[in-house]
C-alpha cells in the first residue's frame, strides 16, 4: 500500500494476482488494508487539501506532467506486468499507457488554461435601487476524492487514469482503491504518482493507494467524513451499492459511477440495403475487439426485418466463425460472460445467429450473436441486460415506427450509433431526438469502442449508464465533477483569490459584468 509518502505492507488477508491466460498465481502476494489504514490515508488527504487546492496553475500542471513522465519512465516493466495480470496483448497495453499519459497531459493543459475556474465578476452598483454588492465567483475543488480502479483498463481507468487525473487537476487529493485483478500494475503506477508528489514538493496526502475488499475497505473509504466525492467504473451492482452508501452518510456525497450500457447500433434502411455484407463484417470486428470488454461495446443492433437484414446476419455469422476465443480479464468476468450468453441463448424468442471459435484457455471468451423481434425485446426486460464481453443481440423491426418504439424503450446508454446513407436523411432526423434523450454520445457510420480523450468527448449518459447524466468520465469536462462554485461578496482585495483579483494575475478569460473579457 502507498499511504502518503510511505510504502506499507497490508496487514489483512493476503492475495495474489492471476494470469488469466494460464490461471497461474503471480508473485508477490499483496496485503489488504485495515480500517486504520483507511483513516490514515483520509486524514492525510484532508490535511493536504487546502494547501494543494491553492497551488498555482503552473505548479499543478507541472505535477500532472511529472506523473505522466514517471509512468513512461517505468518502461517495459509496467507493460510486462500489466500483460501478465490482464491477459491483454502488448500493443493494447502500450496503447493504453499512451492514453493514460495523454489524458494527464490534457489535464495539465486544462489547468494552465484556467477556464475551469469559471471566474465571474459582477461590479458593485451602489446607486441602483436596491444596490448591488460586488460579487465574484470561482469554482474550487470539492475535497478529497476516492477513486476505484476498473477491471478492464489496468492503466487508463485505474490508479493513474482519468478519474485520478481529473480529480488532481481540480485540486482534490486522491485515495485510490486499487482493483484486485492487477495489484502489481497498480503499485508501479502508484509509486510513479507518489514520486511526483515528492519531487514537486506537494503535501504527502495528495495521493494514497490501498488494496482491499470493496465491501469493507471500499465502503469504509466512501463513509469517511473527509471524503467528498467518488469516482467509479464497474458494474451496475457495484456502482449502485456505492451510491446507496454515499447517500446514507450524515453528509451525502456524489458518486460518479460509470456502469451499465449496451450501446445500440441502428442500421437505417438504405445503408442496410446497400452495405449489408460489409456492415456485418465490420460490426463483428467491433464486437470482438478486446474480447468485447469495453463499456462501449455494441451489445444491440436494431434494424428493419427483410432480406438485407438476413444478409447482414449471414455476413456477421461468417465473420464470427473466423474469430478465435480471446482471453478475458479475470475468471469472474469470464464466468459472468459465459452465464450471460447461456441465459440469452435460452431466452424465449431468441435465436442464435453465430458463435466464434471455442478456446481452451481458462478464461477464453467465445463471441456470440443472437436475434429476436422487437415485440419480444420490448416485452422481456432481461434482454436489455448488459453482457460484459463479445455478445450482441439483433432486434428485428417491422417498420421505422417500431424502430422508434425500441429506441424509446431503451434505458440510458453511453453511446448510440446510426449507420446511414444519404437517402436515410429523413429517418435519421426523426431518430436523433430520441437518441439525444437516451445517450451521452451519438455516432454516425462508426462504432463506439474507441473513446477519444479530448475537449469535446462525453463518456457518460442517463442512468444506468452513469449515476449522473450531467457528467463525463473522459475528456476535459471530467474536471467539472470535482469542482463546486463559491461566490465572494464585498471581499477586500487582500482576501480575493488570484482568479478574481482586479489585475487578473492569471491572465484568465473572465465574465465581467456579463461580457467575456481577458481582463
Per-residue DSSP letters for 399-450?
Answer: SHHHHHHHHHH---EEEEEEE--GGGHHHHHHHHHHHHHHEEEEEESS-TT-
Residues of the chain above pLDDT 70, percent: 100
In this prediction, residue 121 carries a pLDDT of 98
Instruction: Classify 181 as helix, strand or coil.
Output: coil
Catalytic residue list contains 270: no
Q: Residue 174 pLDDT more than 90?
A: yes
Kindly provide the b/e burial profile for residues 289-315, where b requires at least 16 CB atoms within 10 angstroms of the residue's own CB: bbbbbbbbbbbbbbbbbeebbebbbeb
CATH topology of domain 2-8+32-259+469-482: Aldehyde Dehydrogenase; Chain A, domain 1 (3.40.605)
Q: Residue 148 pLDDT more than 90?
A: yes
The three cell numbers locating residue 190: 502508484
How confident is residue 206, by pLDDT bands cut at 50, 70 and 90?
A: very high
Of 65, 258, 384, 386, the catalytic one is 258
d(CA 519, CA 506): 10
d(CA 21, CA 23): 6
Fold match between domain 2-8+32-259+469-482 and domain 264-444: no
In this prediction, residue 11 carries a pLDDT of 87
How confident is residue 13, by pLDDT bands cut at 50, 70 and 90?
A: confident
Q: What is the pLDDT of residues 46-83, one digit of tens each?
A: 999 999 999 999 999 999 999 999 999 999 999 999 99
Q: CB of 236 within 8 A of CB of 243? A: no
The three cell numbers locating residue 352: 442464435
Place of cell 467524513: 225
326 pairs with which residues across the strands?
365
Which has the higher per-residue pLDDT, 13 or 63? 63
How confident is residue 449, by pLDDT bands cut at 50, 70 and 90?
A: very high
Q: What is the pLDDT of residues 392-441, one digit of tens each?
A: 999 999 999 999 999 999 999 999 999 999 999 999 999 999 999 999 99
Q: Residue 471 pLDDT more than 90?
A: yes
**What pTM value is reported for the model?**
0.96
The three cell numbers locating residue 491: 471581499
Boundaries of every domain in the chain: 2-8+32-259+469-482, 264-444
Cβ neighbour number for residue 114 with a 10 Å cutoff: 18
In this prediction, residue 435 carries a pLDDT of 98
Catalytic residue list contains 295: yes
140 φ, ψ (degrees, to nearest 5)? -125, 165
Is the bond into 139 cis (omega within 30 degrees of 0)? Answer: no
Q: CB of 324 within 8 A of CB of 360? A: no
Instruction: Specify the DSSP element, H or E, that contains 301.
Output: strand 300-304
Q: Average per-residue pLDDT in the chain? A: 97
207-210, strands of its sheet edge to edge: 6-7, 2-3, 207-210, 174-177, 145-148, 229-233, 255-258
d(CA 74, CA 344): 43
> In sequence order, what are the residues at sequence separation of 6 or more whose Cβ sits closer than 8 angstroms to the Cβ of residue 322?
357
Q: What is the pLDDT of residues 70-128, one digit of tens each?
A: 999 999 999 999 999 999 999 999 999 999 999 999 999 999 999 999 999 999 999 99
d(CA 86, CA 82): 6
Please calculate the CA angle 345-389-16 and round it to the nearest 5 degrees: 120
Query: If we measure between CA atoms, which residue out of 87, 111, 149, 47 comes closest to residue 361?
Result: 87
Q: Residue 302 pLDDT more than 90?
A: yes
Region at 171 (left for phi over 0; alpha for psi -120 to 50; beta for the rest): left
In this prediction, residue 214 carries a pLDDT of 80
How confident is residue 213, by pLDDT bands cut at 50, 70 and 90?
A: confident
In this prediction, residue 502 carries a pLDDT of 97
> In sequence order, what are the residues at sequence separation of 6 or more whose Cβ sits closer than 8 angstroms to the Cβ of residue 9?
1, 31
In this prediction, residue 450 carries a pLDDT of 86
Of 42, 172, 295, 313, the catalytic one is 295
In this prediction, residue 215 carries a pLDDT of 86
d(CA 203, CA 45): 9
> In sequence order, what are the residues at sequence separation of 6 or more whose Cβ sits closer than 8 angstroms to the Cβ of residue 7?
1, 191, 194
- pLDDT, mean of residues 498-503: 97
The verdict on domain 264-444 having CATH code 3.30.300.30 is no
Amino acid at each position: 500500500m502507498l499511504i502518503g509518502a510511505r510504502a506499507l505492507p497490508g496487514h489483512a488477508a493476503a492475495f495474489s494476482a492471476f494470469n488469466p491466460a494460464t490461471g497461474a498465481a503471480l508473485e508477490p502476494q499483496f496485503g489488504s488494508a485495515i480500517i486504520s489504514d483507511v483513516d490514515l490515508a483520509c486524514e492525510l488527504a484532508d490535511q493536504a487539501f487546502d494547501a494543494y487546492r491553492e497551488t498555482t496553475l503552473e505548479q499543478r500542471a507541472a505535477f500532472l506532467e511529472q506523473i505522466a513522465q514517471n509512468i513512461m519512465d517505468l518502461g517495459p516493466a509496467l507493460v510486462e506486468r500489466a500483460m501478465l495480470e490482464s491477459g491483454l496483448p502488448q500493443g493494447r497495453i502500450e496503447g493504453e499507457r499512451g492514453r493514460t499519459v495523454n489524458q494527464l497531459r490534457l489535464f495539465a493543459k486544462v489547468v494552465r488554461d484556467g477556464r475551469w475556474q469559471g471566474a465571474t465578476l459582477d461590479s458593485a452598483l451602489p446607486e441602483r435601487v436596491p444596490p448591488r454588492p460586488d460579487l465574484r465567483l470561482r469554482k474550487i475543488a470539492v475535497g478529497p476524492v476516492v477513486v476505484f480502479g476498473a477491471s478492464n483498463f489496468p492503466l487508463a481507468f485505474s490508479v493513474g487514469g482519468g478519474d485520478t487525473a481529473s480529480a488532481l487537476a481540480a485540486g482534490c487529493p486522491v485515495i485510490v482503491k486499487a482493483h484486485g485483478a492487477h495489484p502489481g500494475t497498480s503499485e508501479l503506477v502508484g509509486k510513479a504518482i507518489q514520486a511526483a508528489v515528492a519531487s514537486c514538493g506537494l503535501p504527502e496526502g495528495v495521493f494514497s493507494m490501498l488494496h482491499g475488499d470493496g465491501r469493507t475497505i471500499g465502503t469504509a473509504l466512501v463513509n469517511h467524513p473527509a471524503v467528498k466525492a467518488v469516482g467509479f467504473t464497474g458494474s451496475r451492482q457495484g456502482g449502485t451499492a456505492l451510491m446507496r452508501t454515499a447517500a446514507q452518510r450524515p453528509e451525502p456525497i456524489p458518486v460518479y459511477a460509470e456502469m451499465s450500457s449496451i450501446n445500440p447500433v441502428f442500421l437505417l434502411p438504405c445503408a442496410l440495403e446497400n452495405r449489408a455484407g460489409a456492415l456485418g463484417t465490420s460490426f463483428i470486428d467491433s464486437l470482438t475487439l478486446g474480447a468485447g470488454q469495453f463499456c462501449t461495446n455494441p451489445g444491440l443492433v436494431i434494424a428493419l426485418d427483410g432480406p438485407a437484414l438476413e444478409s447482414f446476419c449471414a455476413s456477421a455469422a461468417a465473420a464470427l466463425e473466423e474469430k478465435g476465443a480471446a482471453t478475458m480479464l479475470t475468471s469472474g468476468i469470464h464466468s459472468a460472460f459465459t452465464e450471460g450468453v447461456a441465459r440469452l441463448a435460452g431466452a424465449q424468442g431468441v435465436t442464435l445467429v453465430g458463435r466464434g471459435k471455442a478456446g481452451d484457455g481458462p478464461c477464453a471468451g467465445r463471441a456470440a450473436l443472437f436475434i429476436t423481434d422487437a415485440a419480444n425485446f420490448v416485452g422481456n426486460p432481461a434482454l436489455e441486460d448488459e453482457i460484459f464481453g463479445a455478445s450482441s443481440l439483433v432486434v428485428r423491426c417491422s417498420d421505422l415506427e417500431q424502430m422508434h418504439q425500441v429506441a424509446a424503450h431503451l434505458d440510458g446508454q453511453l453511446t448510440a450509433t446510426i449507420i446511414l446513407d444519404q437517402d436515410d436523411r429523413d429517418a435519421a432526423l426523426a431518430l436523433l431526438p430520441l437518441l439525444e434523450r437516451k445517450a451521452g454520445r451519438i455516432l454516425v457510420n462508426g462504432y463506439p469502442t474507441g473513446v477519444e480523450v479530448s475537449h469535446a468527448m462525453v463518456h457518460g449518459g442517463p442512468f444506468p449508464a452513469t449515476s449522473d447524466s450531467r457528467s463525463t468520465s473522459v475528456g476535459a469536462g471530467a474536471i467539472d465533477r470535482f469542482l463546486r462554485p463559491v461566490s465572494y461578496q464585498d471581499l477586500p482585495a487582500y482576501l480575493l483569490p488570484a482568479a478574481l483579483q482586479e489585475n487578473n494575475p492569471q491572465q484568465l478569460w473572465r465574465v465581467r459584468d456579463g461580457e467575456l473579457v481577458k481582463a
